[in-house]
Amino acid sequence: MQSFFTKTRNSQHLFLKLFGTVSLGALVASIPAAAQEPEFEAGIHFFPGNLVVSRSVYDDNANNVKIGAMLPPNCANTVGSCAPATNNGKYPFVFNNVIPDPAFGVTAKIFLDQLTPSGFVLDSLEVPNSSLKKVRTESNQLVTSFSSKSEIALNLSTDGKLLTFMGYVAPIDTIDASNSNTPGAIDPTNPVGINFYRAVATVNRNGKFTFTETNAYSGNNGRAAILNNTNGENFFYTSGNAGNGANPQPNGVVLGAGAQFIEPSNAPESFQTPVAPTPLASFSVTELGDKADKIGKDDNFRGLTIFNNVVYFTKGSGSNGVDTVYFIDTTGTACPKGVGVPAVGAPLPISPLAVNLSTLQTAGLSNNMCILSGFPTALAKSANPVAAPFGLFFANADTLYVADEGDGFTGDTTLYTHAAAQTAAGIQKWIFNSSTRTWNLAYTLQTGLDLGIPYTVNRYPTGNNTATNLPWTPATDGIRNITGTVDRFGKVTIYGITSTVSGAGDVGADPNRLVAVTDTVSNTDATKAAKEKFTIIHKADFAEVLRGVSFAPGTK
């Protein structure tokens, strides 16, 4: 029987048991029995207190790409230009194709690895994908784009019982799915001439999945999701980016950007009919008094978390908007000029953002988000120093840890020394001043992170990449997704996924690391913090990357 589980690193094997059809209530009662998706119950359980890390594994196959093949896919039928592939599908050389095709990526399998907090790998759950014998074209399946750096973040639902993440409803080895249109939000100016739904996945502690398709994030990628399933609610908050075409963007692309509100489905993917995207929230730099940017691109969100009934986002890439920390203001009073702190007792959002289609192309979405007071407000195109916030973790109401992935500089042979000299990359500790109602940076945890220090990876190339004339060897550049825990002694341990720099065509293809650092919550002294050292918990292997990290379902 084909397993959805992989062989673990200590050679343990776990197998699935096919035991019936999914119970879908009245909805599935109308679906022909032959078309219903089988339910796979895992022979493994995620145990509270353990870590779960999302891992993408590239199918290292030369036939994935033919040298000379025109990129992006179907480019001859789009408004964009075509360029010949320079490399076949062998890893990591295949990702040099990002030079002729900036949208280049190849869909890959997703694995959810269960680790002890010390880094021992217990087992690994493979998300259904087209390479598995039990998965047919019409079956539930989900992949990520290798090597998109900001995908498959992991978050727990508000009741703590489900893990959530996002991906693409596409076969593995599909080229450029990450910049494809979604079927219900076609942008005729997108040079990538293929269409795929994005989807939100949940998985419970028994390894049972659900998948909800969406037309959001057309032209780009969904990055993170949290299911609000408490107090009678049942919907996803998601973050991501949209658009890969010209300005102005079609309504469907603008509606599908940034922060989304998505209602879950229990139906098989083949029976879902996703409607137009429903935005949850939006921010415009005009709230700060700045001139309007490209509509929809101020909402290029990445990190996502909920704390004290407030939904927080980060933006840290793109030339539009402000790279900083945001929150949704459900009261409409927290930040009349675009900057503030959440109102005391503000509820979680429970409905989509109201949309006026008649003014969407001229004024964009209405604004219901704020920059968290104390965080950067300078436009990304002019900010100095560069900010690249990613994951968020609140140790308590007055202590916020923010991951910064570094500026990603690979412009010349100084890439390693540049990475080592960064002062913002790593994990920043921010403290709330209740008198001024402003967050202030206390220090940035970097010791032991080894910024800019090259490290070896088994079977990875050495020397220089002839496509970039820079060294293949990766080095840590910062931190992306994070999670954390606070013990009864006031010690907080933060787990983070590293970012890299190298001479690879796409640094997102570099095998990276899971690291951890322990800090004292009450400390504000940078000198003391400098003694707190990162340790490596887990490493990606050849043709692998690590993306998200969370505690297992049921962890309190």
- For the stretch 431-452, pLDDT in tens is 999 999 999 999 999 999 999 9
Q: Contact, 235 vs 264, CB < 8 A?
A: yes
Q: Contact, 495 vs 516, CB < 8 A?
A: yes
Q: What is the pLDDT of residue 38?
A: 47
Q: How far, in Å, CA of 378 to CA of 385, rounded?
A: 10
Element (H, E) at 362: helix 360-363
489 lies in some domain: no
pTM of the model: 0.93
Q: What is the pLDDT of residue 383?
A: 85
Q: Contact, 108 vs 58, CB < 8 A?
A: yes
Output the CA–CA distances (angstroms, integers) from residue 306 to 225, 334, 348, in the order listed.
11, 17, 9
pLDDT less than 70: residues of the chain: 1-43
The sheet carrying 235-240 orders its strands as: 222-228, 235-240, 259-262, 279-281
170 lies in some domain: no
Which is it for strands 426-433 and 438-445: parallel, antiparallel or unpaired?
antiparallel
517 lies in some domain: yes
502 lies in some domain: yes
Q: How far, in Å, CA of 111 to CA of 124, rounded?
A: 6
The number of residues making up the chain comes to 556
Comparing CA positions, the residue from 184, 197, 182, 179 lying closest to residue 140 is 197
530 lies in some domain: yes
**Sign of the CA dihedral with 250 first, then 256, 258, and 259 last:** positive
| Neighbour-count burial of 449, counting CB atoms closer than 10 A to its CB (0-12 exposed, 13-18 middle, 19+ buried) | buried
Neighbouring-strand partners of residue 21: 38
432 lies in some domain: yes
Q: What is the pLDDT of residue 43?
A: 65
Cα of first residue to Cα of last residue in the chain, in angstroms, is 35
Residue 198: which residues within 8 A CB-CB, separation 6 or more?
Answer: 166, 167, 168, 169, 182, 213, 214, 215, 216, 217, 221, 222, 240
Q: How far, in Å, CA of 94 to CA of 543, rounded?
A: 11
Comparing CA positions, the residue from 113, 148, 112 lying closest to residue 499 is 148
116-155 burial, b at 16+ Cβ within 10 Å, e below that, comes to eeebebbbbbbbbbbbbeebeeebbbbbbbbbbbbbbbbb
Q: Contact, 31 vs 267, CB < 8 A?
A: yes
| Token pair recorded at residue 483 | 């999670």
Q: Tally Cβ neighbours within 10 Å of residue 322.
A: 25
Domains identified in the chain, total number: 1
Q: How far, in Å, CA of 393 to CA of 408, rounded?
A: 22
In 245-319, where do the E strands start and end?
259-262, 279-281, 304-307, 310-314
Which is it for strands 470-471 and 389-396: parallel, antiparallel or unpaired?
unpaired
| Token pair recorded at residue 103 | 């949208």
Element (H, E) at 465: strand 464-465
216 lies in some domain: no
389 lies in some domain: no
Q: Contact, 40 vs 127, CB < 8 A?
A: no
Output the CA–CA distances (angstroms, integers) from residue 21 to 17, 28, 130, 267, in the order listed.
12, 10, 20, 12
Q: What is the pLDDT of residue 556?
A: 83
| Token pair recorded at residue 49 | 């207190």
Q: What is the pLDDT of residue 35?
A: 38
Q: What is the pLDDT of residue 42?
A: 54
Q: What is the pLDDT of residue 7?
A: 35
User: 421 is in which domain, residue-wise?
Assistant: 408-484+497-541
Comparing CA positions, the residue from 208, 300, 220 lying closest to residue 21 is 208
